[in-house]
């Protein structure tokens, strides 16, 4: 299963990084701005996928519960699309990207269903979906226009849904979802839990999307493209590293927690975090050496490494902090920090044109999150 997952991640990474080598430079911004838009659509799931994984891991998903989650996903996605269309100007190319993002959301939830069901269905799906991304990577060699690129990108990100349809149709045909008062109340509770999970993990999971958005609106197109590529390298290496991270923590958390300072894995996890950041830097330098279409400024590399360090460090702190504080208390601290961040953004908007000042600004925000939301509260409680 691990090898299949690595192959799946590798094919997605290949499709995400190959464009800077083989497609026209004029199309680079279109590709990476489109992937950012797909990320926005993915955020419209509002944590439904996370709640599904938590609940389905304890109890195999029934057809009725599966339909309930898909119905909620449809509602959340529809509301997002309505707001986006009303707030931003859209054309047919943007519509293609949005549709692929929507299909991708349903693919993500369907994958969670397979992951928590019996058999080797999830491995088979990952292999087939990997082949879709591999085929998409090969088709990049014949892309010569914005239209063909958007079509290829949309098909590649959403094409894997074909391999999920047999499983989903079989599950959906087993029972009917009747919208009774009890069912509506159940849907409300799921949506409430999902939204709470979304906001509580917002400052961890979606930092890369926030930072890419900030760079897109405050820096040049070339800087945005380079940052998207560097961040893609960092995130994919981080995903592999976090897999081992959770294995170590699972062994520790099978016992009663004695606090962060007595965690038996502290040294190994600290070494893993530092080692991951070094590996990310070396991989980015190698990519920068092999690629001639874009360059990675030092400030850009520093930002992507800081984001990776923040994600892994906060994951380590959060496991311990939630033993002495509620998720709501952590979220409240995050909201306070976010409010302060908005004030700083408003006050320093004119300064964001400089990449060095942007780097300093991001470093301060990430450090403040680690210290004031996690480290100091945990230190006071233990």
User: pLDDT tens, 207-249?
Assistant: 889 889 888 887 888 889 999 999 999 998 888 887 777 766 6
Select from 312, 194, 323, 193 the least CA-distant residue to 245. Answer: 312
Q: What is the DSSP string of 161-218?
A: HHHHHHHHHHHHTT------HHHHHHHHHHHHHHHHHHHHSHHHHSHHHHHHHHHHHH
- The answer, yes or no, to whether residue 177 has pLDDT greater than 70, is no
- The answer, yes or no, to whether residue 272 has pLDDT greater than 70, is yes
User: pLDDT tens, 315-347?
Assistant: 888 877 777 777 788 888 888 877 776 666 555
**Measured CA distances, 84 to 42, 147, 209 (Å):** 13, 21, 17
Residue 261 DSSP code: G
pLDDT of residue 189: 84
- The answer, yes or no, to whether residue 349 has pLDDT greater than 70, is no
Select from 295, 334, 342, 300 the least CA-distant residue to 317. Answer: 334
- The answer, yes or no, to whether residue 81 has pLDDT greater than 70, is yes
Select from 265, 235, 270, 268 the least CA-distant residue to 250. Answer: 265
| Residue boundaries of the structural domains of the chain | 2-199, 201-381
pLDDT of residue 260: 64
- The answer, yes or no, to whether residue 378 has pLDDT greater than 60, is yes
Q: At what angle do helices 92-115 and 161-172 cross, to 10 degrees?
A: 60
Select from 323, 305, 319 the least CA-distant residue to 366. Answer: 305
pLDDT of residue 36: 94
How many angstroms separate the CA atoms of 117 and 109, rounded?
13
3-state DSSP call for residue 354? coil
Q: What is the mean pLDDT of the chain?
A: 82
pLDDT of residue 347: 58
How many angstroms separate the CA atoms of 35 and 228, rounded?
9
H/E element, 377: helix 376-381
- What average pLDDT does range 133-148 have in this prediction? 93
Q: What is the pTM of this model?
A: 0.85
- What average pLDDT does range 123-138 have in this prediction? 93
pLDDT of residue 154: 94
- Place 62 in a pLDDT band, splitting at 50, 70 and 90: low
Which range has the top average pLDDT, 155-169, 240-254, 309-323?
155-169
- Provide CB contacts within 8 A for 64, sequence distance 6+: 175, 177
pLDDT of residue 330: 83
pLDDT of residue 241: 84
CA-based end-to-end distance of the chain? 38
Contact present, 207 and 334 (Cβ < 8 Å): no
Q: What is the DSSP string of 280-330?
A: HHHHHHHHHHH-SS----HHHHHHHHHHHHHHHHHHHHHHHHTTTS-HHHH
How many angstroms separate the CA atoms of 18 and 137, rounded?
7
Q: At what angle do helices 92-115 and 28-43 cross, to 10 degrees?
A: 50
Select from 162, 107, 169, 114 the least CA-distant residue to 1. Answer: 114
If one compares 173 and 232, the residue with the highest pLDDT of the two is: 232
- Provide CB contacts within 8 A for 43, sequence distance 6+: 198, 206, 209
Give percent of the chain with pLDDT exceeding 70: 83
User: pLDDT tens, 281-295?
Assistant: 999 998 888 887 778
Select from 333, 327, 331, 322 the least CA-distant residue to 382. Answer: 322
Structure token digits, residue 382: 């233990």
φ/ψ region of 137 (left if φ > 0, alpha if ψ in -120 to 50, else beta) reads alpha
């Amino acid at each position: 299963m691990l090898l299949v997952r690595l192959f799946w991640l590798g094919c997605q990474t290949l499709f995400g990084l190959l464009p800077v080598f083989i497609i026209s430079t004029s199309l680079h911004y279109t590709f990476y701005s489109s992937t950012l838009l797909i990320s926005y659509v993915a955020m419209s799931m509002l944590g439904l996928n996370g709640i599904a994984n938590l609940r389905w891991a304890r109890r195999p998903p029934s057809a009725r519960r599966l339909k309930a989650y898909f119905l909620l996903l449809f509602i959340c996605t529809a509301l997002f699309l309505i707001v986006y269309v009303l707030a931003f100007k859209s054309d047919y190319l943007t519509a293609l990207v949005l549709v692929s993002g929507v299909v991708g959301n349903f693919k993500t939830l369907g994958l969670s269903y397979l992951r928590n069901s019996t058999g080797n269905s999830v491995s088979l799906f990952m292999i087939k979906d990997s082949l879709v991304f591999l085929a998409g990577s090969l088709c990049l060699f014949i892309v010569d226009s914005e239209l063909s690129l958007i079509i290829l990108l949309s098909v590649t990100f959403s094409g894997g849904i074909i391999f999920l349809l047999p499983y989903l149709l079989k599950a959906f045909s087993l029972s009917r979802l009747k919208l009774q008062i009890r069912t509506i109340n159940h849907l409300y509770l799921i949506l409430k839990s999902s939204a709470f999970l979304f906001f509580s993990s917002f400052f961890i999971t979606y930092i890369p999307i926030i930072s890419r958005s900030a760079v897109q609106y405050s820096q040049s197109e070339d800087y945005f493209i380079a940052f998207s590529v560097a961040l893609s390298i960092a995130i994919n290496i981080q995903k592999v590293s976090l897999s081992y991270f959770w294995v170590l923590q699972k062994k520790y958390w099978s016992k009663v927690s004695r606090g962060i300072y007595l965690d038996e894995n502290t040294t190994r996890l600290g070494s893993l975090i530092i080692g991951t950041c070094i590996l990310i830097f070396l991989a980015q330098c190698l990519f920068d050496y092999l690629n001639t279409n874009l360059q990675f400024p030092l400030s850009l590399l520093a930002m992507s490494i800081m984001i990776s360090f923040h994600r892994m460090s906060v994951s380590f702190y959060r496991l311990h902090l939630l033993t002495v504080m509620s998720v709501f208390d952590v979220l409240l601290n995050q909201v306070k920090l976010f409010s302060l961040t908005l004030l700083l953004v408003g006050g320093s908007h004119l300064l964001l044109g400089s990449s060095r000042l942007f780097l300093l600004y991001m470093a301060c925000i990430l450090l403040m999150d680690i210290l004031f939301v996690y480290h100091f509260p945990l230190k006071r409680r233990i």
